[in-house]
Amino acid sequence: MANITFKRRCNFCEFTDGMIHSIIWSHGVESLLYTDGLSDLQVKIFIGKGKLDKNYYKTRKYITKSEMSYKLEQWHTDTKHICESCGRGSDFYFEDIKIDGELLKDDIDVKHNEPLIKSEQAHEHFSRALQYSKQGNYNLAIREYTSILESYPKSYKYRDVYFRRAQLYEKQGKFELVISDYTNYINLVEDSTTMPELFFYRGLAYSMNKNYELAIADFTTVIIHSPYQFGSDAFNNRGNNYQKQGKYELAIADFTSAIKKNSNKEAFYFNRANAYVQQGKYELAIVDYNEAIKINPMYDEVLNNRGDTYFRQNKYELAITDFTAAIKINPNLSEAFFTRGEVYYKLGNEEFSISDFKMAASLGDIDAVTNLKNFFNIDYHKY
Protein backbone atom coordinates (compact mmCIF):
# COMPACT_ATOMS: atom_id res chain seq x y z
CA MET A 1 0.00 0.00 0.00
CA ALA A 2 1.22 3.51 -0.81
CA ASN A 3 -0.04 7.04 -0.16
CA ILE A 4 0.30 9.28 -3.22
CA THR A 5 0.00 13.00 -2.60
CA PHE A 6 0.16 15.90 -5.05
CA LYS A 7 -0.94 19.41 -5.93
CA ARG A 8 -2.53 20.21 -9.25
CA ARG A 9 -2.89 23.21 -11.55
CA CYS A 10 -5.24 23.56 -14.52
CA ASN A 11 -3.38 23.71 -17.83
CA PHE A 12 -6.17 25.81 -19.34
CA CYS A 13 -6.72 28.63 -16.85
CA GLU A 14 -3.73 28.14 -14.47
CA PHE A 15 -6.13 27.76 -11.49
CA THR A 16 -4.84 25.89 -8.44
CA ASP A 17 -6.89 25.20 -5.34
CA GLY A 18 -3.74 25.06 -3.18
CA MET A 19 -4.84 21.76 -1.66
CA ILE A 20 -2.75 18.63 -1.21
CA HIS A 21 -4.69 15.78 -2.83
CA SER A 22 -4.22 12.18 -1.79
CA ILE A 23 -4.80 8.76 -3.37
CA ILE A 24 -4.31 5.46 -1.56
CA TRP A 25 -2.68 2.87 -3.85
CA SER A 26 -3.55 -0.59 -2.60
CA HIS A 27 -0.64 -2.39 -4.30
CA GLY A 28 3.12 -2.29 -3.90
CA VAL A 29 4.88 0.83 -5.17
CA GLU A 30 6.84 -1.22 -7.68
CA SER A 31 3.62 -2.28 -9.41
CA LEU A 32 3.03 1.36 -10.39
CA LEU A 33 5.59 0.79 -13.14
CA TYR A 34 3.30 -1.65 -14.89
CA THR A 35 0.01 0.18 -15.22
CA ASP A 36 -1.20 3.27 -17.05
CA GLY A 37 -3.75 4.47 -14.52
CA LEU A 38 -4.46 3.98 -10.84
CA SER A 39 -7.26 1.40 -10.71
CA ASP A 40 -7.05 -2.08 -9.24
CA LEU A 41 -8.63 -3.45 -12.41
CA GLN A 42 -5.81 -2.14 -14.58
CA VAL A 43 -3.19 -3.79 -12.38
CA LYS A 44 -5.00 -7.10 -12.58
CA ILE A 45 -5.17 -6.79 -16.37
CA PHE A 46 -1.48 -6.02 -16.63
CA ILE A 47 -0.58 -8.86 -14.29
CA GLY A 48 -2.71 -11.14 -16.46
CA LYS A 49 -0.69 -10.09 -19.50
CA GLY A 50 2.52 -11.06 -17.75
CA LYS A 51 3.92 -7.54 -17.71
CA LEU A 52 5.24 -7.92 -14.17
CA ASP A 53 8.27 -9.66 -15.64
CA LYS A 54 11.31 -8.39 -13.74
CA ASN A 55 13.03 -7.57 -17.03
CA TYR A 56 10.19 -5.37 -18.24
CA TYR A 57 11.66 -2.23 -16.73
CA LYS A 58 15.17 -3.64 -16.37
CA THR A 59 14.46 -4.31 -12.66
CA ARG A 60 14.04 -0.56 -12.05
CA LYS A 61 12.71 0.00 -8.51
CA TYR A 62 11.81 3.70 -8.81
CA ILE A 63 9.16 5.66 -10.67
CA THR A 64 9.87 9.09 -12.14
CA LYS A 65 7.82 12.22 -11.65
CA SER A 66 6.87 12.26 -15.33
CA GLU A 67 5.60 8.68 -15.23
CA MET A 68 3.59 9.36 -12.10
CA SER A 69 2.18 12.54 -13.63
CA TYR A 70 0.91 10.52 -16.56
CA LYS A 71 -0.77 8.00 -14.24
CA LEU A 72 -2.41 10.83 -12.33
CA GLU A 73 -3.53 12.33 -15.63
CA GLN A 74 -5.10 9.02 -16.66
CA TRP A 75 -6.81 8.72 -13.28
CA HIS A 76 -8.24 12.23 -13.54
CA THR A 77 -9.53 11.40 -17.03
CA ASP A 78 -11.10 8.11 -15.91
CA THR A 79 -12.80 9.78 -12.94
CA LYS A 80 -13.90 12.78 -15.07
CA HIS A 81 -12.29 15.46 -12.94
CA ILE A 82 -12.86 19.03 -14.12
CA CYS A 83 -11.32 22.35 -13.15
CA GLU A 84 -13.33 24.13 -10.43
CA SER A 85 -12.55 27.49 -12.02
CA CYS A 86 -13.01 27.12 -15.81
CA GLY A 87 -15.03 23.88 -15.84
CA ARG A 88 -12.89 22.34 -18.58
CA GLY A 89 -11.71 18.73 -18.79
CA SER A 90 -9.09 16.79 -16.92
CA ASP A 91 -5.95 18.54 -18.21
CA PHE A 92 -3.89 19.27 -15.11
CA TYR A 93 -0.24 19.92 -14.30
CA PHE A 94 0.85 18.02 -11.20
CA GLU A 95 3.31 19.38 -8.63
CA ASP A 96 4.96 18.19 -5.43
CA ILE A 97 4.16 14.55 -6.16
CA LYS A 98 5.13 12.34 -3.24
CA ILE A 99 4.83 8.65 -2.50
CA ASP A 100 4.75 7.93 1.23
CA GLY A 101 6.16 11.40 1.82
CA GLU A 102 9.12 11.02 -0.57
CA LEU A 103 9.25 13.67 -3.32
CA LEU A 104 9.57 12.10 -6.76
CA LYS A 105 12.58 13.02 -8.88
CA ASP A 106 12.49 14.59 -12.30
CA ASP A 107 12.97 12.40 -15.34
CA ILE A 108 16.46 11.30 -16.32
CA ASP A 109 17.52 10.39 -19.83
CA VAL A 110 19.06 7.12 -21.01
CA LYS A 111 22.52 8.33 -20.05
CA HIS A 112 21.24 9.00 -16.53
CA ASN A 113 22.11 12.70 -16.77
CA GLU A 114 20.08 15.36 -15.07
CA PRO A 115 17.57 17.06 -17.42
CA LEU A 116 18.51 20.47 -18.76
CA ILE A 117 15.41 21.99 -17.16
CA LYS A 118 13.33 20.97 -14.17
CA SER A 119 9.75 19.88 -14.53
CA GLU A 120 8.49 23.16 -13.05
CA GLN A 121 10.53 25.11 -15.59
CA ALA A 122 9.07 22.98 -18.37
CA HIS A 123 5.62 24.25 -17.46
CA GLU A 124 6.89 27.83 -17.75
CA HIS A 125 8.40 27.09 -21.17
CA PHE A 126 5.09 25.54 -22.24
CA SER A 127 3.08 28.57 -21.13
CA ARG A 128 5.42 30.92 -22.96
CA ALA A 129 5.20 28.79 -26.10
CA LEU A 130 1.39 29.00 -26.06
CA GLN A 131 1.58 32.77 -25.71
CA TYR A 132 4.09 33.12 -28.55
CA SER A 133 1.88 30.91 -30.74
CA LYS A 134 -1.15 33.13 -30.12
CA GLN A 135 0.97 36.13 -31.13
CA GLY A 136 2.05 34.39 -34.33
CA ASN A 137 5.69 34.32 -33.21
CA TYR A 138 6.28 30.72 -34.24
CA ASN A 139 10.06 30.71 -34.03
CA LEU A 140 10.03 31.73 -30.37
CA ALA A 141 7.25 29.25 -29.62
CA ILE A 142 9.24 26.47 -31.29
CA ARG A 143 12.30 27.43 -29.25
CA GLU A 144 10.31 27.08 -26.02
CA TYR A 145 8.90 23.69 -27.04
CA THR A 146 12.37 22.54 -28.07
CA SER A 147 13.74 23.44 -24.64
CA ILE A 148 11.26 21.01 -23.09
CA LEU A 149 11.93 18.21 -25.57
CA GLU A 150 15.70 18.49 -25.23
CA SER A 151 15.29 17.62 -21.56
CA TYR A 152 12.47 15.11 -21.89
CA PRO A 153 12.67 13.61 -25.40
CA LYS A 154 11.07 10.30 -24.41
CA SER A 155 8.71 11.46 -21.71
CA TYR A 156 5.07 10.48 -22.23
CA LYS A 157 4.03 13.43 -20.08
CA TYR A 158 5.37 15.89 -22.66
CA ARG A 159 4.14 14.00 -25.72
CA ASP A 160 1.74 16.81 -26.59
CA VAL A 161 4.72 19.13 -27.06
CA TYR A 162 5.69 17.15 -30.18
CA PHE A 163 2.16 17.63 -31.52
CA ARG A 164 2.12 21.36 -30.88
CA ARG A 165 5.59 21.90 -32.32
CA ALA A 166 4.64 19.88 -35.41
CA GLN A 167 1.68 22.20 -36.00
CA LEU A 168 3.98 25.22 -35.91
CA TYR A 169 6.49 23.60 -38.26
CA GLU A 170 3.55 22.93 -40.61
CA LYS A 171 2.68 26.65 -40.63
CA GLN A 172 6.29 27.28 -41.68
CA GLY A 173 6.18 24.64 -44.42
CA LYS A 174 8.89 22.53 -42.74
CA PHE A 175 7.32 19.19 -43.49
CA GLU A 176 10.34 17.00 -42.72
CA LEU A 177 10.29 18.39 -39.17
CA VAL A 178 6.52 17.96 -38.99
CA ILE A 179 6.91 14.29 -39.92
CA SER A 180 9.69 13.82 -37.37
CA ASP A 181 7.61 15.25 -34.52
CA TYR A 182 4.52 13.19 -35.31
CA THR A 183 6.71 10.09 -35.56
CA ASN A 184 8.25 10.82 -32.16
CA TYR A 185 4.77 11.18 -30.68
CA ILE A 186 3.63 7.91 -32.29
CA ASN A 187 6.66 6.11 -30.88
CA LEU A 188 5.73 7.24 -27.36
CA VAL A 189 2.30 5.61 -27.52
CA GLU A 190 2.13 1.89 -26.78
CA ASP A 191 -0.84 1.33 -29.12
CA SER A 192 -0.60 4.23 -31.54
CA THR A 193 -3.56 3.01 -33.59
CA THR A 194 -5.77 4.34 -30.78
CA MET A 195 -4.70 7.83 -31.87
CA PRO A 196 -5.56 7.91 -35.58
CA GLU A 197 -5.24 11.69 -35.72
CA LEU A 198 -1.45 11.32 -35.49
CA PHE A 199 -1.38 9.15 -38.62
CA PHE A 200 -3.85 11.45 -40.35
CA TYR A 201 -1.78 14.59 -39.77
CA ARG A 202 1.48 12.81 -40.55
CA GLY A 203 -0.13 11.55 -43.76
CA LEU A 204 -0.92 15.14 -44.72
CA ALA A 205 2.70 16.10 -44.06
CA TYR A 206 4.00 13.16 -46.11
CA SER A 207 1.73 14.25 -48.94
CA MET A 208 2.96 17.85 -48.82
CA ASN A 209 6.51 16.47 -48.82
CA LYS A 210 5.66 14.37 -51.92
CA ASN A 211 6.20 11.10 -50.01
CA TYR A 212 3.05 9.68 -51.55
CA GLU A 213 3.52 6.01 -50.64
CA LEU A 214 4.13 6.86 -46.97
CA ALA A 215 1.12 9.18 -47.01
CA ILE A 216 -1.03 6.40 -48.47
CA ALA A 217 0.18 4.01 -45.74
CA ASP A 218 -0.79 6.47 -42.99
CA PHE A 219 -4.23 7.18 -44.45
CA THR A 220 -4.78 3.44 -44.81
CA THR A 221 -4.01 3.04 -41.10
CA VAL A 222 -6.61 5.69 -40.32
CA ILE A 223 -9.22 4.03 -42.57
CA ILE A 224 -8.68 0.67 -40.88
CA HIS A 225 -8.65 1.87 -37.27
CA SER A 226 -10.92 4.92 -37.39
CA PRO A 227 -13.52 4.46 -40.13
CA TYR A 228 -16.00 6.85 -38.49
CA GLN A 229 -13.94 9.67 -37.01
CA PHE A 230 -11.69 10.36 -40.03
CA GLY A 231 -13.06 7.89 -42.57
CA SER A 232 -14.32 10.19 -45.35
CA ASP A 233 -11.38 12.59 -45.09
CA ALA A 234 -8.90 9.73 -44.98
CA PHE A 235 -10.39 8.22 -48.16
CA ASN A 236 -10.33 11.64 -49.83
CA ASN A 237 -6.70 12.31 -48.91
CA ARG A 238 -5.58 8.82 -49.90
CA GLY A 239 -7.36 9.39 -53.20
CA ASN A 240 -5.46 12.64 -53.68
CA ASN A 241 -2.18 10.79 -53.25
CA TYR A 242 -3.18 8.06 -55.68
CA GLN A 243 -4.10 10.79 -58.15
CA LYS A 244 -0.69 12.44 -57.76
CA GLN A 245 0.83 9.06 -58.67
CA GLY A 246 -1.36 8.82 -61.76
CA LYS A 247 -3.35 5.92 -60.27
CA TYR A 248 -6.70 7.35 -61.33
CA GLU A 249 -8.85 4.24 -60.86
CA LEU A 250 -7.67 3.87 -57.26
CA ALA A 251 -8.17 7.59 -56.72
CA ILE A 252 -11.72 7.49 -58.09
CA ALA A 253 -12.54 4.47 -55.91
CA ASP A 254 -11.38 6.36 -52.81
CA PHE A 255 -13.23 9.56 -53.74
CA THR A 256 -16.35 7.46 -54.26
CA SER A 257 -15.91 5.91 -50.80
CA ALA A 258 -15.50 9.39 -49.33
CA ILE A 259 -18.73 10.55 -51.00
CA LYS A 260 -20.61 7.49 -49.72
CA LYS A 261 -19.55 8.38 -46.18
CA ASN A 262 -20.25 12.10 -46.58
CA SER A 263 -22.13 13.34 -49.62
CA ASN A 264 -22.17 16.96 -48.44
CA LYS A 265 -18.53 17.85 -49.09
CA GLU A 266 -17.98 19.62 -52.39
CA ALA A 267 -14.25 18.84 -52.33
CA PHE A 268 -14.93 15.10 -52.73
CA TYR A 269 -16.93 15.65 -55.95
CA PHE A 270 -14.36 18.18 -57.15
CA ASN A 271 -11.48 15.74 -56.67
CA ARG A 272 -13.30 12.87 -58.37
CA ALA A 273 -14.21 15.15 -61.27
CA ASN A 274 -10.54 16.10 -61.70
CA ALA A 275 -9.61 12.42 -61.82
CA TYR A 276 -12.29 11.80 -64.47
CA VAL A 277 -10.82 14.64 -66.54
CA GLN A 278 -7.40 12.97 -66.38
CA GLN A 279 -9.03 9.87 -67.85
CA GLY A 280 -10.80 11.87 -70.55
CA LYS A 281 -14.22 11.07 -69.06
CA TYR A 282 -15.51 14.61 -69.46
CA GLU A 283 -19.22 13.93 -69.09
CA LEU A 284 -18.69 12.18 -65.74
CA ALA A 285 -16.47 15.06 -64.67
CA ILE A 286 -19.18 17.61 -65.55
CA VAL A 287 -21.70 15.68 -63.45
CA ASP A 288 -19.40 15.83 -60.41
CA TYR A 289 -18.53 19.50 -60.95
CA ASN A 290 -22.28 20.21 -61.05
CA GLU A 291 -22.76 18.43 -57.71
CA ALA A 292 -19.89 20.39 -56.14
CA ILE A 293 -21.41 23.69 -57.36
CA LYS A 294 -24.82 22.73 -55.94
CA ILE A 295 -23.18 22.36 -52.53
CA ASN A 296 -21.05 25.49 -52.86
CA PRO A 297 -21.97 27.90 -55.68
CA MET A 298 -19.05 30.17 -54.73
CA TYR A 299 -16.36 27.50 -55.32
CA ASP A 300 -14.25 29.35 -57.89
CA GLU A 301 -11.93 26.42 -58.64
CA VAL A 302 -14.86 24.18 -59.53
CA LEU A 303 -16.22 26.79 -61.94
CA ASN A 304 -12.77 27.21 -63.45
CA ASN A 305 -12.23 23.46 -63.90
CA ARG A 306 -15.71 22.91 -65.29
CA GLY A 307 -15.01 25.73 -67.74
CA ASP A 308 -11.76 24.04 -68.73
CA THR A 309 -13.64 20.77 -69.27
CA TYR A 310 -16.18 22.55 -71.48
CA PHE A 311 -13.24 24.02 -73.40
CA ARG A 312 -11.86 20.52 -73.95
CA GLN A 313 -15.28 19.57 -75.36
CA ASN A 314 -15.26 22.65 -77.66
CA LYS A 315 -18.26 24.07 -75.79
CA TYR A 316 -16.80 27.57 -75.87
CA GLU A 317 -19.77 29.65 -74.74
CA LEU A 318 -20.31 27.44 -71.67
CA ALA A 319 -16.60 27.65 -70.94
CA ILE A 320 -16.61 31.46 -71.11
CA THR A 321 -19.62 31.61 -68.78
CA ASP A 322 -17.85 29.49 -66.18
CA PHE A 323 -14.54 31.37 -66.40
CA THR A 324 -16.37 34.67 -66.07
CA ALA A 325 -18.25 33.42 -62.99
CA ALA A 326 -14.99 32.15 -61.43
CA ILE A 327 -13.28 35.51 -62.05
CA LYS A 328 -16.20 37.36 -60.50
CA ILE A 329 -15.72 35.31 -57.32
CA ASN A 330 -11.92 35.49 -57.41
CA PRO A 331 -10.44 38.33 -59.51
CA ASN A 332 -6.93 36.94 -58.89
CA LEU A 333 -7.59 33.55 -60.48
CA SER A 334 -4.95 33.72 -63.19
CA GLU A 335 -5.78 30.35 -64.76
CA ALA A 336 -9.36 31.50 -65.46
CA PHE A 337 -8.09 34.59 -67.32
CA PHE A 338 -5.53 32.46 -69.17
CA THR A 339 -7.92 29.77 -70.40
CA ARG A 340 -10.67 32.26 -71.21
CA GLY A 341 -8.02 34.06 -73.28
CA GLU A 342 -7.40 30.80 -75.15
CA VAL A 343 -11.13 30.38 -75.76
CA TYR A 344 -11.40 33.91 -77.18
CA TYR A 345 -8.36 33.19 -79.39
CA LYS A 346 -10.11 30.07 -80.71
CA LEU A 347 -13.17 32.21 -81.47
CA GLY A 348 -11.07 34.81 -83.26
CA ASN A 349 -11.74 37.56 -80.69
CA GLU A 350 -8.22 39.00 -80.52
CA GLU A 351 -9.13 42.02 -78.41
CA PHE A 352 -10.65 39.97 -75.59
CA SER A 353 -7.94 37.31 -75.89
CA ILE A 354 -5.12 39.86 -75.53
CA SER A 355 -6.90 41.49 -72.57
CA ASP A 356 -7.23 38.15 -70.74
CA PHE A 357 -3.65 37.08 -71.46
CA LYS A 358 -2.41 40.42 -70.12
CA MET A 359 -4.46 40.00 -66.96
CA ALA A 360 -3.12 36.47 -66.49
CA ALA A 361 0.44 37.70 -67.10
CA SER A 362 -0.01 40.48 -64.55
CA LEU A 363 -0.95 37.78 -62.04
CA GLY A 364 2.28 35.90 -62.74
CA ASP A 365 1.26 33.42 -65.43
CA ILE A 366 4.38 32.80 -67.55
CA ASP A 367 2.42 30.89 -70.21
CA ALA A 368 0.30 33.98 -70.79
CA VAL A 369 3.45 36.00 -71.53
CA THR A 370 4.49 33.30 -74.03
CA ASN A 371 1.08 33.35 -75.74
CA LEU A 372 1.14 37.14 -76.08
CA LYS A 373 4.47 36.83 -77.89
CA ASN A 374 3.62 33.79 -80.01
CA PHE A 375 0.04 34.67 -80.92
CA PHE A 376 0.21 38.47 -81.19
CA ASN A 377 3.95 39.35 -81.21
CA ILE A 378 3.42 41.38 -78.02
CA ASP A 379 6.31 41.69 -75.59
CA TYR A 380 4.68 41.88 -72.18
CA HIS A 381 6.47 43.51 -69.25
CA LYS A 382 4.65 43.74 -65.95
CA TYR A 383 6.54 46.86 -64.88
> Is the predicted pLDDT of residue 172 greater than 90, yes or no?
yes
CATH pick for 114-185 out of 3.20.20.10, 1.25.40.10, 3.40.630.10, 3.40.47.10: 1.25.40.10
| Alpha-carbon gap, residue 308 to 321, rounded angstroms | 11
Tens digit of pLDDT for each residue in 254-295?
999 999 999 999 999 999 999 999 999 999 999 999 999 999
Residue 105 DSSP class: P
- Alpha-helical runs (H) found in 61-158: 65-78, 119-134, 138-151
Count of beta carbons in the 10 Å neighbourhood of residue 215? 26
Of the listed ranges 55-59, 259-263, 347-351, 361-365, the one predicted with least confidence: 55-59
Write down the mean pLDDT value for the chain.
Answer: 84
Closest CA to 351 of 329, 333, 377, 376: 376
Please tell us whether the domain made up of 191-297 is placed in CATH 1.25.40.10: yes
Q: What is the pLDDT of residue 6?
A: 79
Split at pLDDT 50, 70, 90, the class of 241 is very high
Q: What is the pLDDT of residue 64?
A: 65
Residues of the chain with CATH 1.25.40.10: 114-185, 191-297, 308-383
> Is the predicted pLDDT of residue 297 greater than 70, yes or no?
yes
| Alpha-carbon gap, residue 65 to 81, rounded angstroms | 20
3-state helix, strand, coil in the chain (%, to 5): 60, 5, 30
Q: What is the pTM (predicted TM-score) of this model?
A: 0.69
Of the listed ranges 59-63, 207-211, 239-243, 268-272, the one predicted with least confidence: 59-63
Q: What is the pLDDT of residue 27?
A: 54
Tens digit of pLDDT for each residue in 41-60?
343 333 333 333 333 333 34
Please give the class, per CATH, of domain 308-383.
mainly alpha
Tens digit of pLDDT for each residue in 245-265?
999 999 999 999 999 999 999
> Is the predicted pLDDT of residue 344 greater than 70, yes or no?
yes
